């Protein structure tokens, strides 16, 4: 996925050889050298960004306005041409749904003609282009995890993003119908009251608390009953949809397509619900979500259908066939086949898929649905640059660079820090790019994850530190609706004496000098030092 991400000085220095070979795409400055110098200054000021495309790079100095990007500098590596570079830039702006792209440059006659041919106009001393949107929304299958998609919708509503096309499979088709209908409160009400017995014909033993043993018992009952009956009836789900959906509104909404699988031919069937008779709309939604053998096959006419995920669980191709300029793809980790597709160069893609597990696939719990709605909402806002963090969420005003600087000043007294060698070590340990400037953020998220802090809250660094301390002193139980699989995985992780977390604790509890540990395990030692820093300094 192509994304224009902020770059920090430590990252730029790591790519210094590549950066020194860049050249101006257009005359933002009088020379390539001056442009590189000014870009390095922009990085220090916080408005230097980088987009990687195959083996090439696009270095952008941009200032973000409410509805626009102002581009002050644009440097590219050798193989990129004008057309590709501008396409990448415009697609990056589309991912954040900016209305206007502004270029601050002095253009000669040839460049002026080219900009005009690309729909740029010279207004107020800058070249401007208005971006026009025909947005496709793609919703993947994933059963009970589908509440996440409603949280995504909430964030999109706040940005007044409308859809020209919606395509969905299984629960993505059900949510697509709710979204096409345009009644957010109805969708939330459905998910916040949902339980397994309101979706499928099954009865569980009543329990005072849905603990681990009760969840295992529910799962065992679900599997045994579904296999004995050759799939559970979805009659309760039909009743729920009949209460919440208005077929007439769906017929009049934007084009909405759902995917199902016809058996025994195992053939992918794409159904346009806008063109269906009102009485068949719910039939096709149930056919798209009939996850056989756990759920009974759906019969329409003389034919039988099962879950569309068996053939196309994430129907991006269906949306692309309808002339969209960008697609928002919401993947909730459902089983099935993610069909390959070719994204046209001129189409932007915003992919949303949580790094967190979203819980059980077929056991519905209203508490977990509420958590997943919040998670979808916050992760979408972060994708739009309104929050920061990797797994957790922090306000954009949170100053992790200051916190990191303060921590490293104290650490230098205990270990021989070599900052120029720290970035590759961080990247290796965390298996992703972690700027040295954001070391404190990486450390906080590391401990928050291992101490089971819920992610569905916007923190400041000091607020998360308070929560971490409280969890250390009095560990709390799991959050609502955590699945059996998550509890088993957590047990394994926390009892694995060779895990990163246990290694950090071992170093923290050591009696020797920090320096000897740092030379052997630098990042683990820094994490242990940060843990000590949390305990003693803050």
Q: How confident is the model at residue 538 (pLDDT cuts 50, 70, 90)?
A: low
CA pair distance 383, 375, nearest whole angstrom? 12
pLDDT at 222 over 80: no
Torsions phi, psi of 363, nearest 5? -100, 115
pLDDT at 210: 64
CB of 203 within 8 A of CB of 197? Answer: yes
CB of 413 within 8 A of CB of 528? Answer: no
- Choosing among 3.40.50.510, 3.40.630.30, 1.10.10.10, 2.60.40.10, the CATH entry for 2-130 is 3.40.630.30
Question: What average pLDDT does the structure give for the chain?
Answer: 91
pTM across the whole model: 0.94
For residue range 502-511, list pLDDT tens digits in order.
889 889 888 6
Share of the chain above pLDDT 90, in %: 70
Lowest mean pLDDT among 51-65, 91-105, 187-201, 371-385: 187-201
For residue range 467-487, list pLDDT tens digits in order.
998 888 877 766 656 766 777
Lowest mean pLDDT among 36-45, 201-210, 324-333, 518-527: 201-210
pLDDT at 6 over 60: yes
Closest CA to 103 of 22, 27, 4: 27
Q: How confident is the model at residue 79 (pLDDT cuts 50, 70, 90)?
A: confident
pLDDT at 176: 97
Q: Which residues form the catalytic set?
A: 170, 307
For residue range 258-299, list pLDDT tens digits in order.
999 999 999 999 999 999 999 999 999 999 999 988 888 999
What CATH homologous superfamily does 135-381 map to? Answer: Cytosolic phospholipase A2 catalytic domain (3.40.1090.10)
Average pLDDT over residues 405-412: 93
How far are the Cα atoms of 143, 204, 232, 293 from residue 225, in angstroms, in the given order?
18, 11, 7, 11
Q: Which two tokens stand for residue 196?
A: 């397994």
- Domains of the chain, residue spans: 2-130, 135-381, 385-537
pLDDT at 387 over 80: yes
Q: How confident is the model at residue 58 (pLDDT cuts 50, 70, 90)?
A: very high
Q: Which residues contact 506 (CB under 8 A, 6 or more apart)?
A: none
Q: How confident is the model at residue 500 (pLDDT cuts 50, 70, 90)?
A: confident
pLDDT at 207 over 60: no
pLDDT at 193: 83
């Amino acid at each position: 996925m192509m994304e224009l991400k902020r770059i920090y000085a430590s990252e730029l220095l790591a790519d210094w050889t590549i950066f020194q070979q860049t050249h101006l795409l257009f005359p933002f400055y009088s020379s390539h050298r001056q442009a590189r110098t000014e870009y390095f200054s922009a990085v220090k000021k916080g408005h230097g960004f980088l987009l990687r495309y195959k083996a090439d790079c696009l270095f952008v100095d941009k200032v973000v306005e409410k509805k626009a990007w102002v581009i002050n500098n644009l440097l590219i590596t050798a193989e990129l041409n004008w057309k590709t570079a501008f396409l990448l830039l415009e697609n990056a702006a589309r991912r954040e749904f900016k209305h206007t792209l502004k270029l601050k440059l002095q253009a000669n006659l040839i460049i002026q003609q080219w900009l005009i041919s690309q729909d740029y106009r010279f207004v107020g001393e800058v070249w401007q282009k208005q971006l026009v949107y025909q947005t496709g929304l793609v919703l993947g299958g994933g059963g009970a995890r589908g509440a996440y998609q409603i949280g995504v919708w909430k964030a999109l509503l706040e940005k007044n993003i409308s859809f020209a096309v919606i395509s969905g499979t299984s629960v993505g088709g059900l949510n697509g119908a709710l979204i096409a209908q345009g009644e957010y409160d109805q969708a939330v009400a459905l998910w916040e009251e949902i339980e397994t017995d309101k979706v499928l014909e099954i009865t569980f033993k009543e329990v005072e608390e849905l603990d681990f043993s009760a969840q295992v018992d529910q799962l065992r009952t679900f599997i045994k009953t579904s296999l004995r009956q050759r799939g559970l009836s979805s009659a309760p789900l039909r009743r729920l949809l009949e209460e919440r959906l208005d077929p007439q509104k769906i017929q009049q909404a934007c084009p909405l397509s759902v995917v199902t699988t016809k058996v025994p031919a195992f053939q992918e069937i794409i159904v346009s619900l806008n063109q269906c008779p009102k009485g068949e709309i719910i039939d096709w939604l149930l056919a798209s979500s009939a996850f056989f053998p756990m759920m009974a096959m759906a019969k329409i006419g003389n034919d039988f259908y099962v879950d569309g995920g068996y053939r196309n669980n994430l129907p991006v191709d269906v949306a692309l066939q309808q002339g969209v300029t960008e697609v928002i793809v919401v993947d909730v980790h459902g089983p099935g086949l993610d069909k390959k597709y070719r994204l046209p160069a001129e189409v932007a893609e915003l992919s949303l898929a949580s790094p967190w597990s979203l819980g059980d696939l077929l056991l519905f719990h209203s508490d977990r649905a509420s958590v997943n709605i919040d998670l979808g909402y916050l992760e979408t806002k972060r994708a739009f640059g309104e929050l920061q963090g990797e797994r957790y969420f922090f306000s954009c005003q949170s100053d992790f660079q200051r916190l990191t600087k303060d921590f490293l000043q104290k650490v230098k007294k205990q270990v021989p820090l070599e900052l120029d060698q720290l970035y590759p070590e961080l990247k290796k340990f965390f298996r992703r790019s972690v700027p040295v400037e954001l070391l404190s953020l990486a450390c906080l998220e590391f401990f928050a994850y291992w101490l089971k802090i819920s992610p569905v809250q916007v923190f400041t660094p000091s607020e998360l530190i308070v929560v971490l301390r409280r969890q250390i002193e009095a560990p709390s139980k799991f959050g609502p609706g955590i699945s059996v699989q998550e509890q088993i995985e957590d047990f394994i992780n926390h009892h694995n004496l060779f895990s990163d977390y246990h290694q950090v604790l071992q170093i923290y509890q050591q009696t020797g000098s920090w320096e000897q540990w740092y030379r052997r395990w630098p990042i683990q030692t820094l994490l242990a030092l940060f843990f000590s820093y949390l305990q003693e300094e803050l």
